[in-house]
Chains A and B, each alone.
Chain A
Amino acid sequence: MKQIKVLGSGCRNCEITANVIAQAAKDAGVEVRIEKVTDIAEIMVYGVMSTPGVVVDDKVVHAGGIPGPDQVRAWVRE
């Protein structure tokens, strides 16, 4: 199962990002595990400074701002 992490210290955009990904996975019928990472030390390990960041299977795919719908679809499908 795909592991998706949303990095961000609980700002509104992080919530939205997590929800967008969950919805896209549901629409695509793909099972994913979404984890919200709020601990700042853990976020920094990924080298992400602009939140929200998105990590798919331990690879940073996005940093800063809410990701676009095409991007999110690609993450849950590939």
Chain B
Amino acid sequence: MFDAFSNALAFGLLALDPSSRTGAAVQFFIMDVAKIFVLLFVVIYAMGLLRALVAPERVREFVRGRPDWQARGLAVSLGAVTPFCSCSSVPLFIGFVEAGIPLGVTFSFLIASPMINEVAAVILVGILGWKLAALYVVAGLVVAWFGGIVMQRFRPERWVEDYVWQIQVGKADLPKPDTSFAGRHRYALAEVREIVGRIWTWVLVGIGVGALFHGFVPADWVSENLGGDSWYTVPAAVVLGIPLYSNATGVIPVAEAMLGKGVAVGTTLALMMSVAALSLPELLILRKVIQWQALALFAGVLAVAFTLVGWGFNAIV
């Protein structure tokens, strides 16, 4: 359906040549804009109806006071279903610390949350197929789990800013959600507006980059240089992803174009994870609560983890 629509628009209405580079790029762009935005609206609305999106205040209540492995399991899995705005990472961090949740568990949550969410997962299935979607989600959960454990080993408590320990968190007496159908519908629409409003620019930029890659990067060059034979392409992808930032959904079209041209699976996954989970602006926001040593360590642990994931998949596939 999306194929026919984008073909008609690109090659019919705009009269572009299907074999030209511009033609290929424009067709890719139209198809992905249609497909991804339709999926976004549908998935977020459906999740909103089910109220499947969990608020961080509730995550804190679930996780606090549990033994380490349970707390980490919950933090990782709830991180994956919590829509997370980086502007909330500071209050979230303080809230977790105040609840006595170990820092390693908090880091597990901070890794899982931007990297995996159910909206991105469904769109991954729609664009790249369920196998790659499963690879991405499982690899992300594993990295979040062990990344938090490694962070804990370095005793990051010593790097938390002093004032954080002093803050008293009140008990949020949030209004009870309206569970009638009309209430759920209103809530779902508000979620669509809020989340799409926050991420649409990332998604459009991602589709644009994917379209340029699809149209203008020659497949021969890709298979020669990025086919997965040389060890350094994976760390290079991770390093490239650090200054680049996009939402987890925004990197999907880029990955689609890369895989289509024959970039190795591990290299692509490493770039996706690095772009979604490791970003300088986000790290700098956390500087308000932890010192730079902890930030550097956090970035280092993630970079190593993504590199290992990339190498692993390149070796297997």
Interface residues of A, Cβ cutoff 8 Å to B: 8-9, 11, 13, 40-41, 43-51, 59-66, 68, 70
Contacts and interface: CB of A to CB of B under 8 A. Distances in A.
Contacts of B57: 47-50, 63
B169 interface: yes
Contacts of B95: 44, 47, 49
Contacts of A65: 190-191, 194
20 contacts: A8-B87, A11-B85, A13-B85, A40-B91, A40-B288, A43-B91, A44-B167, A47-B57, A47-B95, A47-B171, A47-B172, A47-B173, A49-B55, A49-B60, A49-B94, A50-B57, A50-B85, A51-B87, A51-B91, A66-B194
Given A61-B175, A63-B174, A50 B168 contact: no
A44 B97 CA distance: 12
A22 to B, nearest CB: 20
A64 B48 CA distance: 14
Contacts of A64: 55-56, 85, 88
Given A41-B163, A63-B55, A63-B57, A46 B170 contact: yes
A45 B87 contact: no
B194 A48 contact: no
A47 B169 contact: yes
Contacts of A11: 85, 87
B283 interface: no
Interface string B46-63: 000000000111001000
Contacts of A41: 163, 166-167
B98 interface: yes
In the A-B complex, list the 6 residue pairs whose CB atoms are closest, starting with the nearest.
A47-B172, A11-B87, A65-B194, A47-B170, A49-B95, A49-B56
B199 to A, nearest CB: 13
Interface string B158-201: 00000100111111111100000000001000110110010000
A66 B193 CA distance: 9
A52 B156 CA distance: 28
A41 to B, nearest CB: 5
B133 interface: no
A44 B170 CA distance: 6
A62 B194 CA distance: 14
Given A11-B87, A44-B169, 14 more contacts: A13-B85, A40-B91, A40-B94, A40-B288, A41-B163, A41-B166, A44-B168, A47-B169, A48-B57, A51-B88, A60-B174, A65-B194, A68-B186, A68-B190
A76 B173 CA distance: 19
B167 A50 contact: no
B98 A44 contact: yes
Interface in B192-224: 193-194, 197
Contact of A63 (B94, B172, B288): B172
Most chain B beta-carbon neighbours within 10 Å: one of A11, A50, A68 = A50
A46 B169 CA distance: 7
A46 B186 CA distance: 25
B87 A60 contact: no
Contact of A50 (B55, B169, B170, B288): B55
A18 to B, nearest CB: 15
A45 B55 contact: no
A17 B276 CA distance: 27
